[in-house]
Amino acid sequence: MTRDAENQAGPERRSDGKAAADGTAAMIPIDGVQTVGLATRSRARTGKLAALGAIAVALAVGAAAVGLSRISTSGGATRVGILANVACFGQGPGAPPESGATSGDGCPLMVVPPAGYGAATWSLDPSVPYSADATELHLLVTEWECHGTETLDGRILQDVQYEADAVVVTLAVRQLGGAQTCPAPPPTPYVLHLDEPVGSRGLEDGGLWPPLVIAAGGRPVVTPTQTPYPSNWREPMDCSGTVDDAGFFKAASMMAKFDVYCAVLPAGWSVQSRTGDGQPTTLVTVTYIGPGGETLALYEGDVCSAGQSLCAPAGSDLGTAKFGDLEGKLFAGPPDADYALYVAPGLSPSWTATGKGMSLETFKSLTAALIMIGKW
């Protein structure tokens, strides 16, 4: 973001937290921060895109605030262009949300933050009682992407929307860059200053779509505790291979619209070749080689584009076997391999594993141990 971006943001934007005369939202200065649960709410905001419409987001760097340019939509509303889109977490630039769109365990819909920033969500800090008449909110904030044990100090981008029936708080976090581990550190306390009390209006987290109701009618909304990520997501560092291989798996998973799996292999195995970490990613291929020259190959995504022998089952039918947490069709004697395992063959996405130079039981144990790489 540059000062030019601020200059394009339109007239009468203010840095004191007050709304401008033309109805655009105020630029909110911010401090530093850091956790969440994925949830959907029953009252979907279909008529108005809260936290997406008529907003200007600001990042305070020292004493300077930088705004994002705004674009007009066909409906006449004004919204920040890059925040006007939602997408499954970690899956590209997204698109304006459709009416009635909701999140699911395999697809947490989130507002797409600006380039260089990652998704964040927040909850009320239970150690500080919530007061609808206060002008301070005590939050616990979570960065969704892997960030090791780093805090969020100085990395927070925030926006506050004051609507007739809701106050919508949307946060994003400046990314650290490079390979990061995912130890899931605890949430970070953060004090958010408001220009006006929430009162009887709803208090909502605008980082999720639809926005998540945190409080309503002057009281916190009690929701079941949920984990921020699907329970079967694993870190790329859990995959067999080098640190560079882990970086490849992370990039491939983030760029793909399908689930990407990797192998967890015994000692002596290594990654022989890999493709598919570009943008967009439509096919991921990985070949592993064992200490005795045996090979395990994975093909994921648009598998049919890699060849008909990988797309359609071939050989002698041996029943079913596990491809990580998926179930596939197991065959012996496919072209160029001893065994093959097909998941959703002929479809896109689909997943195929082939093995050569190993026993059937070894092949089945290696494919059963495959893990899904989280889209952090």
Vertex 58 angle, CA 226 and 82, to 5°: 70
Q: Model confidence over 312-353: pLDDT tens digits? A: 899 999 999 999 999 999 999 999 999 999 999 999 999 999
Of these ranges, 138-147, 173-182, 298-307, the one predicted with the greatest mean pLDDT is 298-307
Determine the Cα–Cα distance for residues 142 and 309; give it in Å rounded to an integer.
45
pLDDT classification of 19: cutoffs 50, 70, 90 = very low
Q: Which of 203, 198, 195 shows the shortest CA–CA distance to 19?
A: 195
DSSP 57-112: -EEEETTEEEE--EEE-TTS-EEETTTS-EEETTSSS-BPPPTT---BTTB-EEEP
Average of per-residue pLDDT across 94-105: 66
Smallest CA-to-CA distance from 57 within 148, 132, 156, 129 is with 156
Q: Which CATH architecture has domain 233-373?
A: 3-Layer(aba) Sandwich (3.40)
Report how far apart, in Å, the C-alpha atoms of 107 and of each of 63, 88, 91, 146, 359 are: 38, 5, 9, 18, 37
pLDDT at position 29 is 32
Q: Which residue has the tokens 């760029």?
A: 255
Domain with CATH 3.40.1000 in the chain: 233-373
* Element housing 245 (H / E): helix 243-255
Q: How confident is the model at residue 90 (pLDDT cuts 50, 70, 90)?
A: low
When comparing pLDDT for 67 and 187, which is higher?
A: 187
Evaluate the CA torsion angle 365, 367, 370, 372 in order and state its sign.
Answer: negative
Among 43-57, 62-76, 203-217, the range with the most confident prediction by mean pLDDT is 203-217
272-301 pLDDT tens trace: 999 997 767 899 999 999 999 999 999 999
- More confident: 237 or 58: 237
Q: Report percent pLDDT > 90 for the chain.
A: 43
At 184 the pLDDT is 67
Which of these ranges, 67-71, 102-106, 322-326, 348-352, has the smallest mean pLDDT? 67-71
Arithmetic mean of pLDDT over the chain: 75
Q: Read off the tokens for 231.
A: 């329970």
CB atoms within 10 A of CB 353: 28
